[in-house]
Amino acid sequence: MASPNRIMELSSLIAKETEKLNDFFVKNNLPTPSLDVDALWLLPIPADAADLEASRQAIVEACSELQDLMTGPKNLLRFKWTAYASVKAILRFKLDSSFPVGESTSFEAMSKFSGLNVVNVRRIVRHAIINHHWFREDAPGVITHSALTAILATDPVMRNSMIVELDEFWPAAVKMADAMEKWPNSEESNETGFSLSNNSNKNMYEIFAGNPERGERFGAYFSREDEPGRMLLDNYPWGSHETIIDVGGSHGSVAIEIAKKFSKVKCIVQDLADTAAEGASRLPAELQDRQPVTADVYYFRSIFHNWADKYCIKILQNLIPALKKGAKIVVHERILPGLANLSTDHKRRVINLDVGMQQLLNAKQREMHEWSELFQQADPRFKYLGAHRPDGAIRWIIVAEWQG
């Protein structure tokens, strides 16, 4: 229950932490945050300034809580059922790319560019302005870019990410409850909201394999770096091993970084045969049909969260014919947080991803205790060695050893 003075506590916290950040910006002649077209894309907080990042996170969380409190319980129940309708339409008809950054346009010009009538363009753009800060209309009918649409117009990776999330993930979310009702407690990857939204009995990867354009977009979605490579390279003793297999390693980006830093380590990447061409899949299922390869370490990055428990157990069991005593299994994944050990913002991201994996693949993120249980269910000869999350990282390094 919120304290009687919670709104004043939050207000004071916001003022205190904002002053701290503002002092840093002013002292270092840095621009203060803005959504104007020429704003910095990211806040100018140094990567090693943990105290400033903590202040930023505290402000975001306090603002969110204060907004909720001042909205009130009943109004919080109002569903924003048009929330992303305009965003999806703008991307679909490329309105963000209809005029250069730094220039202005009109509803009529956007209509001519897109083929939509003026009424539809106006309603879509104004909805996006008021709800999402997409575009600006500082004078009636004169449209300019905001920082957000300027990014979309010039950053194809960011634009592609928005398209994938709205065209692929959002429809699956809408159908998730239907899938749960149709296939209660299913662990099958083709009995999902994604399958229903595509009117298919195939899973997401099979659907993408049959549609190369969608598959390419999906693969590009994962080309974004979500944490520095040093988080992995500096927090596991890679140099103490001779051979490492990156299972489901896609284009081998992780293996390349390991090989660059540790010259005596031999790295092997295993994935589906068409991954290099499509860049769309990280499935490790081909292990079932390949000749076993013996290594010191078998590394899995964001693989297990794509599969329900019964298939993760099979993945581990398929390794056994190739394992030598002392071989390590290194899993690089997010772990569902406890109530007190991570920031609320981080908790929200991981919990949201957990639901996202269900709607897409009937897969999941796992809690800490579930990792030791998973290895034991696969084979008691797997010894769970523990997990740790490097400071500033989003993924945990989870390690088990084959004791044969």
Q: How confident is the model at residue 329 (pLDDT cuts 50, 70, 90)?
A: very high
Question: What CATH number is given for 230-402 in this structure?
Answer: 3.40.50.150
User: What does the DSSP 8-state code read for residue 99?
Assistant: S
Residues 280-322 have pLDDT tens digits of 344 344 333 434 568 999 999 999 999 999 999 999 999 999 9
Residues 43-84 have pLDDT tens digits of 999 988 989 999 999 999 999 999 999 999 999 999 999 999
The answer to whether 87-154 and 230-402 have equal CATH topology is no
Residues 235-248 have pLDDT tens digits of 999 999 999 999 98
Choose the catalytic residue: 305, 346, 369, 388: 305
Q: What are phi and psi of 197, to 5 degrees?
A: -70, -20
d(CA 93, CA 95): 6
Taking the C-alpha atoms of 173, 182, 364 and 357 in order, what is their torsion angle to the nearest 10 degrees? -30
DSSP SS3 for 83: coil
Q: Which of 159, 163, 198, 157 is nearest to 361 (CA)?
A: 198
Is the separation of the CB atoms in 309 and 374 below 8 Å?
Answer: yes
pTM recorded for the entire structure: 0.87
Quick check: is 305 catalytic? Answer: yes
Domain extents in the chain: 6-76, 87-154, 159-221, 230-402
> Which CATH architecture is the domain 87-154 placed in?
Orthogonal Bundle (1.10)
Q: Which two tokens stand for residue 35?
A: 């959504």
Q: How many CB atoms lie within 10 A of CB 249?
A: 24
The 8 Å CB, 24+ separation contacts for 362-366 are 362/186, 362/187, 362/188, 362/189, 362/191, 362/192, 362/308, 363/189, 363/305, 363/306, 363/307, 363/308, 364/305, 364/308, 365/305, 365/333, 365/334, 365/335, 365/336, 366/304, 366/305, 366/333, 366/335, 366/336
